[in-house]
């Protein structure tokens, strides 16, 4: 009986959690048109156990996904058929694994390729005998080192054999998809300017079964500075690799990361193929099996990143992430003035918590606060504002006696702001991390960065915001709600900076000149989606948005204006949703920075 009661209670908890999650995916609003999506969200969450990483963590679910997503390819002839050279360094590879690897290369549906192998002085007769057998194939070239030189030297020797316009990097015990090169060449036919391509990947367990898919985002430069998410399968224009001198031995263990970072110096024409084309073998000594087996790889990656910033004359420190084996970058800046814009309507107690935390818990002090008073009527609010104006010289009040329009209020405040940077902040935010503004400024001061956000937490320490994803529960939604504060998230997304399409304006920093380039917030969006719209405008200008999920604040969301439950608010939200769909059309269909398979 106790077991039955326990199972019932567990089910009720899951239902409550699922309802909570599905409800938040729709921003506390369920107009009739969204009801179907809400119900669908509930059952998805209930089925998956509230995991955006279900396919990653559940091998059975992933194997089922593979079967359900098989597709037949209607092969087409390409006008452009570049020779692609596989680069395969080999050292004491077991016969069965080496054969699987080479057979997967030889069996490509795209036929204009060669396989360039360098044996790094293997001591295994089995390995050497296997190579001699494959050497008979006209597609295969092999060179044998007389002494062991490690992976960079052997890769460079293989590179010397290559005649291809592009090279593709493959480890000697991994395999690739039958159509891997086909998809790469298909992309190159659509865009001949592409210099580097990479695909999604998964792993092979000890029994050779596929598991742990890595559905990657499109090129994300800030994410890449925290972790080598690009990894496999990677194809690079050979002339660029040659100009860089190939691989560097001092970065062995992360020699690919170092190479990719140097390629990034030369070109940003980096293209993502959103298909799993590489299968990374899990062995007892591989980083696929356990990162701790190659801690030197982590240290080599850190060294490569440090060298990159030095090479680019960027003042930055590379720090170890205390929560996960990734890197944290701390950028220096020139201590600019930041204008913190906070719209309010009464709610003095909430606002006081926000203001006190800003003044008392922020170590970066070169800021001004512009409090936009929109139709406050309570005496308590008037007294609060008067007190802060008398106490702080950098505290200003802008009174706007008009109907609430979040976009208009902030645009007007920017006009009177004297800061080089603008921080949009809700009045129900509480600072809990002293270095928050310093860290945000470091990123916002980078030339390629547009909007910068952080991780926001509910009062119960559950995640409220850690990036906005297009198509998630509607036009856009907050991902990883309501994960636990200490959860590192899918591939560290809740513990490190990641590029996202959008971040919430509940706490958003941007350089004023970049904000002005976009013409600011769209005032047709009075309440909802204005921050998503701004971030899309920023992307359109060629900048990247980033969420620093290693930086946290509390956000007592919706306490200041209430939930979206009245008929009037529902109709307004419906109108603004349709406005966004008409304005951005196909741009809203797929998110470049969060792979849809991770939903």
Q: Are residues 9 and 123 in the same domain?
A: no
Kindly report the pTM of this predicted structure.
0.89
Judge whether 342 and 426 are in contact, CB under 8 Å.
Answer: yes
Whole-angstrom Cα distance, residue 269 to residue 554? 38
| Sequence-separated contacts (24+) of 11-20 with Cβ below 8 Å | 14/46, 14/49, 14/50, 15/46, 17/45, 17/50, 18/42, 18/45, 18/46, 18/50, 20/482
Same-domain check for residues 37 and 92? no
**What domain range includes position 14?**
2-50
The pLDDT tens digits for 99-138 are 999 999 999 999 999 999 999 999 999 999 999 999 999 9
Mean pLDDT in runs of 10 for the chain (599 residues)? 58 47 36 44 43 76 92 94 98 96 98 98 96 96 96 97 98 97 98 98 93 96 97 97 98 97 97 97 57 72 98 98 94 98 96 98 98 96 96 97 96 98 98 98 98 96 96 91 91 96 98 97 96 98 98 80 64 91 93 90
Examine the domain organization and report whether 443 and 588 are in the same domain.
Answer: yes
Q: Considering the domain boundaries, does residue 387 fall inside one?
A: yes
pLDDT, residue 561, reads 43
Domain annotation covers residue 109:
yes
CA 14 – CA 377 distance, rounded (Å): 43
Q: How many domains does the chain have?
A: 3
First-last CA distance in the chain: 37
Q: Are residues 230 and 361 both part of a single domain?
A: no
**Residues 388, 273: one domain?**
no
321 lies in a domain?
no
Looking up residue 266, the CATH number of its domain turns out to be 3.90.550.10
**pLDDT for residue 9:** 54
Domain-embedded: residue 30: yes
- Residue 57 has what pLDDT? 84
Tell whether 91 and 181 lie within a shared domain. Answer: yes
Dihedral through CA 53, CA 57, CA 63, CA 69, nearest 10? 10
Tell me how long the chain is: 599
Do residues 398 and 369 lie in contact, with contact meaning Cβ atoms separated by under 8 Å?
Answer: no
DSSP classification of residue 364: -
Neighbours of 296 (CB within 10 A): 11
Cβ(552)–Cβ(432) under 8 Å?
yes
Pair 382, 299 in one domain: no
Residue 74 lies in a domain: no
Same domain, residue pair 10 and 98 = no
Residue 32 forms part of a structural domain: yes
Do 295 and 207 reside in the same domain of the chain? Answer: yes
Looking at the structure, do residues 233 and 346 belong to the same domain, yes or no?
no
The upper half-sphere exposure of residue 566, i.e. CA atoms within 13 Å in the direction of its Cβ, equals: 5
Does residue 55 form part of some domain? Answer: no
- Same domain, yes or no: 239 and 381: no
The CA–CA distances, whole Å, from 357 to 217, 479, 553 equal: 35, 26, 10
In this predicted structure, what is the pLDDT of residue 28? 34
Answer yes or no: is 224 within a domain.
yes
Q: Do the bridges between strand 175-176 and strand 270-281 make them parallel or antiparallel, or are there none, so unpaired? A: antiparallel
Distance, CA of 273 to CA of 214 (rounded, Å)? 12
- Please give the Cα distance from 471 to 557 (Å, whole number): 22
Measure the CA–CA gap between 102 and 466, rounded to whole angstroms: 42
Here the tokens at position 501 are 């399409």
Whether residues 504 and 363 fall in one domain? yes
């Amino acid at each position: 009986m106790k077991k039955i009661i326990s199972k019932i209670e567990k089910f009720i908890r899951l239902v409550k959690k699922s309802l909570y999650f599905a409800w938040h995916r729709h921003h506390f609003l369920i107009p009739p048109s969204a009801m179907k999506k809400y119900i669908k969200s509930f059952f998805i969450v209930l089925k998956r156990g509230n995991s955006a990483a279900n396919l990653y963590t559940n091998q059975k679910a992933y194997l089922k996904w593979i079967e359900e997503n098989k597709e037949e390819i209607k092969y087409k002839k390409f006008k452009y058929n570049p020779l692609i050279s596989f680069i395969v360094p080999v050292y004491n590879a077991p016969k069965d694994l080496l054969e699987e690897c080479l057979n997967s290369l030889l069996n490509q549906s795209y036929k204009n390729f060669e396989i360039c192998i360098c044996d790094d002085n293997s001591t295994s007769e089995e390995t050497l005998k296997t190579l001699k057998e494959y050497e008979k194939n006209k597609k295969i070239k092999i060179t044998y080192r007389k002494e062991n030189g490690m992976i960079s030297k052997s890769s460079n020797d293989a590179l010397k054999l290559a005649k291809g316009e592009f090279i593709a990097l493959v480890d000697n015990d991994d395999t690739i998809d039958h159509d891997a090169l086909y998809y790469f060449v298909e992309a190159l036919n659509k865009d001949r300017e592409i210099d580097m391509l990479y695909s999604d990947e998964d792993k092979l367990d000890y029994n050779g079964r596929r598991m742990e898919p890595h559905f990657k985002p499109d090129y994300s430069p800030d994410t890449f500075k925290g972790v080598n998410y690009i990894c496999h399968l990677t194809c690079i224009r050979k002339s660029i690799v040659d100009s860089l001198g190939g691989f560097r031995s001092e970065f062995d263990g992360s020699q690919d990361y170092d190479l990719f970072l140097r390629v990034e110096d030369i070109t940003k024409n980096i293209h993502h193929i959103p298909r799993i084309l590489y299968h990374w073998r899990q062995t007892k000594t591989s980083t696929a099996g356990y990162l701790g087996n190659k801690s030197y790889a982590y240290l080599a990656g850190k060294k490569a990143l440090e060298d990159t910033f030095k090479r680019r004359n960027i003042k930055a420190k590379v720090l170890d992430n205390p929560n996960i084996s990734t890197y944290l970058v701390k950028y220096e800046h020139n201590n600019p003035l930041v204008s913190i814009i906070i719209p309010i309507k009464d709610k003095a107690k909430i606002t006081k918590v926000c203001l006190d935390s800003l003044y008392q818990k922020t170590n970066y002090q070169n800021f001004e606060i512009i409090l936009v008073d929109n139709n406050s009527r309570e005496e308590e609010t008037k007294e609060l504002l008067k007190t802060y104006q008398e106490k702080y010289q950098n505290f200003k009040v802008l009174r706007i006696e008009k109907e609430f329009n979040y976009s208009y209020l902030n645009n007007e405040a920017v006009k009177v702001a004297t800061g080089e940077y603008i921080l949009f902040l809700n009045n129900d935010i509480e600072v809990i991390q002293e270095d928050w503004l310093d860290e945000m400024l470091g990123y916002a001061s980078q030339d390629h960065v547009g909007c910068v956000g952080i991780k926001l937490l509910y009062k119960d320490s559950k995640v409220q915001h850690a990036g906005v994803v297009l198509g998630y529960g509607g036009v856009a939604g907050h991902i990883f709600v309501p994960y636990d504060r200490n959860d590192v998230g899918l591939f560290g997304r809740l513990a490190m900076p990641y590029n996202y399409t959008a971040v919430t304006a509940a706490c958003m920093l941007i350089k004023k000149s970049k904000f002005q380039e976009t013409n600011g917030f769209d005032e047709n969006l009075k309440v909802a989606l204005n921050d998503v719209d701004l971030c899309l405008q920023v992307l359109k200008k060629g900048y990247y948005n980033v969420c620093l999920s290693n930086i946290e604040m509390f956000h007592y969301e919706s306490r200041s204006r209430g939930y979206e439950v009245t008929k009037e608010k529902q109709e307004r939200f419906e109108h603004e949703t349709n406005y966004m769909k008409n304005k951005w059309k196909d741009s809203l269909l797929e998110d470049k920075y969060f792979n849809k398979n991770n939903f």
